[in-house]
Amino acid sequence: MLAGLSKEDQKKLELQDASKYHYLTQGGSITCEGRDDAAEFADIRSAMKVLMFSDHEIWDILRILTIVLHLGNIKYKPTLIDNLDAVEIVNSTCVQSAARLLEVNQQHLIDALTTRTIFAHGDTVVSTMSSEQSKDVRDAFVKG
């Protein structure tokens, strides 16, 4: 996708080079010898057209894939709030991009990724999560 999208579409999706994405670099290599990512992306896009995906549906798929990349780049920093372990998001641009593409309020996304809400006996309790818990929530959200 990153190799095959036009510069204009990459800009709309706020995409960077593949080497900048945590989820793409975990395996140690972002390229596979003998593969042409741009050509393969064009083939996939053509196959979607043959399968009668609308331009809007294709764009939504690209948008979702981009959201996954942005969310994967979110970094957390442990902190204390009211003498309790908590977490804050270090790189707000990833959250801004993800929230914009998800079409949700940025603060709501931050809250979903850093706090836990429990409903019990008619009461609502909001508690902070640790850095490790927040990473687990982020990764679980991405996996769907």
CATH of the domain at 38: 1.10.10
User: Helices 106-114 and 92-102: crossing angle, nearest 10°?
Assistant: 110
Residue 2 — very low, low, confident or very high, per pLDDT cuts 50/70/90? very high
d(C-alpha 92, C-alpha 114), whole Å: 13
Q: Does the structure show a pLDDT above 90 at 88?
A: yes
Pairwise pLDDT comparison (54 vs 91), residue with the higher score: 54
- Residues 106 and 139 grouped into a single domain: yes
Considering the domain boundaries, does residue 39 fall inside one?
yes
Higher pLDDT residue, 32 or 1?
1
The CA distance from 82 to 54, in Å, is: 50
CA 141 to chain centre: 9
CATH number, residue 116: 1.20.120.720
Q: Which residues contact 72 (CB under 8 A, 6 or more apart)?
A: 21, 22, 23, 138, 139, 142
More confident residue, 100 or 34: 100
Longest CA–CA separation in the chain, Å:
60
Is a pLDDT exceeding 90 seen at residue 28? no
Q: Indicate the pTM of the whole model.
A: 0.89
| pLDDT at position 85 | 82
- 56 with 96, same domain? no
β-bridge mates for residue 127, sequence order = 116
Lowest mean pLDDT among 57-66, 100-109, 135-144: 135-144
pLDDT at 82: 82
